[in-house]
Each structure stands twice: as C-alpha cells, then as structure tokens.
Amino acid sequence: MFQFMGDEIALVPAGEARTPRKDLPVAARLYHPYVTNLANGGFTQASPVVIAVDDAGLSWLSGVFNACFMFSALTAA
C-alpha cells in the first residue's frame, strides 16, 4: 500500500506530533528504507493474513489470498 503513495504520506501526521521539527525529519529519512524493505519482503516472508490462514490449516486459501493481493497491487496504479 505504501509503495503506491507519495513521499508526503510520512509527513501527514505533522499536525498531531508533539515536536514536529524534531520528529518529521526522522520520519522522512526512515520512510524510504522502510518501504523498500517492506516491498521486498525484508521484514516478513508472508502477510499476516496468509500466516493466519496457514496456521488454521487452510493452506489452499493462502494461494487465493496471495493472488488477490497481487491482483490488487498490480491494478492499483
């Protein structure tokens, strides 16, 4: 989801930050590495939904969810 949004999404909560002059530069610097690792699967090997479905013993359903996720990501642009 984050990879289809602009960079400004990291700066949207500026109005709610206690110290925006200190917090927003940190958020802006951490945004790209976080999204890059998330998009490449650096943090997880599967989505939480797929892990839960596999744990429930419905391994065939994880393929359906993955297909839906991929279709959604490819048609979002």
Indicate whether 68 and 49 sit together in one domain.
yes
Tokens encoding 6? 């602009």
Indicate whether 35 and 51 sit together in one domain.
no
| Tens digit of each residue's pLDDT (9 = 90 or more) over 5-59 | 666 776 777 788 888 888 888 877 877 777 666 665 555 566 777 788 889 998 8
Indicate whether 10 and 36 sit together in one domain.
yes
Indicate whether 34 and 2 sit together in one domain.
yes
Q: Residue 53: which domain range?
A: 45-77
Q: How far apart, in Å, are the Cα atoms of 61 and each of 4, 25, 27, 46, 51?
A: 26, 41, 36, 13, 11
| pLDDT score for 77 | 55
Q: How many structural domains compose the chain?
A: 2
Give the integer Cα–Cα distance in Å for 72 and 22.
Answer: 36
Indicate whether 3 and 31 sit together in one domain.
yes
pTM exceeding the 0.85 threshold for the entire prediction: no
